[in-house]
A and B are shown apart, each in its own frame.
Chain A
């Protein structure tokens, strides 16, 4: 029986990890590749959750489809945020103090605005795959977790292909390493960064929809994800997509084991311990260069 519990905890952790990978993908781009410490990312994720929720409740459209429909809107939102960030901080070399404060302000303003509009009640969505689960022998696969995990992996694959196979994707990788070389190839680094930041915010729309499928959402849930996403991003080796995926799976399994054997109220502390240990012993990440 104990073995059964262990196996299911690990499976649940892997499914959770897939979802964490989707949540972290945006941070891997903005923090890992562009060196923009976007601590407001979780707020954009919650915004995505609420949009999925509103459309789902009013029109009955599947939350994941909603998130794909709003991708362009999130992309433009991200591009605008980057433009403001660039003009106000990056250009003046003030990103370390005031840029961080700016993102912190965004995080806070988004959260408080959502509280003012929706209150602090938990919101949830309706979809056919929320509820049933597949049983294979000892293993339980709740569809509520399996579908987000698969969607996350699909998004992750697309992003990985984008950064490794397309010109703009490679330019994004290049902008983090050598801006001058990029300029010499007649590419505007600011434009590339704007595009990349837009994409990173666009992933938040999908991650938000997946989040609201997995668990009911209220405005301050985002804060619990700050520790998680940065822990995963750093352990994954800052901007390495495969590294991020492995780190996300690892954190998912550790959290799942903790909540199965010690109780779910301890789960938020796990990510932080994970982050501190990573920073103390392996700051270059698992697959770090």
Chain B
């Protein structure tokens, strides 16, 4: 109708957009690396022999996957200081994202591990490989290859869900959008740009990770 788009009002905030994008990507990278690593450990434990370890991992997965991310983050940022643990907003955000992604990664990787035929493990053992090497060299790569697309999807979701960290004043991409529109009241243009940046990030991330996956797992997986 009568609305005049005015992107000129946003030009002066170019630096802020970049800053927000960098924070969003940085948090996603940290959470993904730590989350996947912990996810591998958790998945291995949940298929291991120690009954209590299995129960603890299962309880962790249930707790995290059945509560809202924003509440987990508020608990860390606003709640833990009462117990004497005070994390900066950025640390709290990275921790919350890692804790969240870990739970989902455990479930995804567990499925991947279960799908590796037992014969693979037995064959490796019979070649004289130690159990740790059997896991890291033979089983894990196949397991990851099995569920790689699901992992990539989960990382993308983590990146998009990270918008929530703006609520504890982390200056991520969403916070930048909120800030700019509170100053120039051009919410339509601002959120249009923010959405476009998220879209481009998500698509690029999926493509690049898929490309990396094809190289890493050439010939493996099904």
Same complex for A and B? Answer: no
